[in-house]
Structure 1
Amino acid sequence: MKVLGVESSCDETGVAVVEATPTGVPKLRAHALHSQIDMHQAYGGVVPELASRDHIRRVVPLTRQVLAEAGVDLAEIDVVAFTRGPGLAGALLVGAGVACSLAAALGKPVFGVHHLEGHLLSPFLASDPPEFPFVALLVSGGHTQLMRVDDVGQYELLGESIDDAAGEAFDKSAKLLGLGYPGGPVLARLAAFGDASAYSLPRPLLHSGNLDFSFAGLKTAVRTQVLKLGTNVCEQDKANIAAATQEAIVDVLVRKSIAALKQTGLRRLVVAGGVGANTMLREQLNAQCAKRQVRVHYPELALCTDNGAMIALAAAMRLQRGAVPGFDQGFDVRPRWPLTEVQPIEVQPIAT
């Protein structure tokens, strides 16, 4: 079974082909990605209308490229998958429109995928894939969540951000420091030259007794420090604030993850989403989990950001477990779609 996946939820156009057998982890045949970072930098953030138009320009050439690299003819595709949500409505509609039209032309079924489920399952494409069950730290864009994952579609929310997510804290703090877009990676690079102890920043909800997150107060604290420095801020001050900000975010993410492992009694942690590429986060999670003999799994660095491979993978893994794709899904997107509303798979496996 060959699945063509299309991702267009925000500012990256991704297409991939994943091949699955009735058993075993699906294999990635090829994937291609176009980032819109250069286009949005001038505006300091994503402009939804520009993002949608760029997806229209990129998705068909990327599809041709991926099919050629995979050595697969379009007629060999068994299912066309796309990101149904969450994301920018216009951007999602581009992917849905292309996927549904292509599936209709081929007479093949179409499958709408939850964007965060794609991130959650993306480590299964790594050289060291996890095994169920596990605790997942999902840190993608505007989402920071801890989940108990027992199988595909079997998700229990343990905790989530009640305001700003970790990725938003990185990006908004970077903007306050006058750094470029996207702010998170730029702030992390600058932090390498800073002294985190130069500024004392808060760790909101660190001792709350639950697994929820809050990063809005951290952003406010960064703003306060920047205003105090005023026009006297120098590059070293910026580096110090960046280092302190990164340390505060990572500290909260690591401690809450360890608390989730203790609460569930599980010995396996999966980290997924763009923030999961942060070097300090990986180093500290690796160190803390090694002390507790807990296995940690990450997606490949190239698959941490939004991509078509994770969408094709999520569809393939659901189909392996008996989910049935449709032939008439239509342009049905959900810009706001909680992962907890994703339905578990209850049907019997179908022949492949």
Structure 2
Amino acid sequence: MPHVEIDLSKIYYNAKILKEQLNKKGISIMGITKVVLGDPKIAKVIRDAGITYIGDSRIRNIKRLYNAKLGAKLVLIRNPSLSEIKQVVKYADISLNSELEILKNLSKEAIKLNKKHGVIIMVEMGDLREGFMPENLDLVIKRTLELEGIVLLGLGTNLKCFAGVIPDQKNMKRFSQIAASLQHKFGIRFEFVSGGNSANYKWVKNADDLGLVNNLRLGTALIIGAESIEDSPIHDLKQDTISLIAEIVQISKKPKNPTGKFSTNAFGEPSIFKNKKYRGKGVRSQALLDIGRQDIEEKGLVPIDNIDIMGASSDYLICDIKDNEYKIGEKVKFNMSYEALLRAMTSPFVEKRYVK
């Protein structure tokens, strides 16, 4: 059975280093666990590194983290669904919001449960995903402050995830100005001015003036030691925190050219053999591994050994193993991109194993 090997000590190391680096710039961290399916063991090492806010985008994961009793504040980082309001107030300490109707329902449920639920209001800064338009924020803040059971904790924004807009000095300065204006108008002070995610790492490291931004929501940087603009490694952090191991189930010499007419593969994509680099004379040493697109994104796999990934079907990863003298049953190890890791951690057919 394919499995991921999770090195908890390396994730702890990344969390510790990032906390130390960003503390010097006045930035707190919410550790985001969505790429690892809200894994409580991973969340615990992040908490042990001194990060006291743990966030996830799925309420089911938030519930897992709640039941793990981590001693951390839990943050739902996706706009709550109306159908999940009861669970959100019960299990999450804080939620990120961009709909007044949702906020009103959170208020009603908080009153029922005699709880205070913290909210961070999301602001649209150009990436065109979640967030209130800036010109509507006066009304939004006024209405939020009027809601019983709701505690307005701050503002947040998100860039890079949809339109690909990069956090920079211009949009971050504007975000700070919006926060400053609202604080002045309503006589309040935001606990969180949350500037974004791992795509903000380079801006935070390089900027001389961070304005009012005092928080980032980090998942990619913590878990795989990379920033998320160019997916480049962050110096001083570990990238080999989680590896994928798959087993060889077939080894054979196969012709370099398919036999017969060919069109698209099972996913409607052009055959790889339309690319001349996959064709030629003779045969190649080819292996099938026991993992496929139902479990991973093969384009995000980086083999440790000198082999080439040709592609994947639903159930198999097809590799050119070159001159490697593998045997049936041998394991092949891969590093993973964010997307590949997300798929592998979500798949019930990929076992999760831990290294301390």
The structure that is helix-richer by fraction is 1
Q: Highest CA radius of gyration, 1 or 2?
A: 2
| TM-score, with structure 2 as normaliser | 0.28
> Which of the pair has the greater relative contact order for Cα pairs under 8 Å at 6+ separation?
1
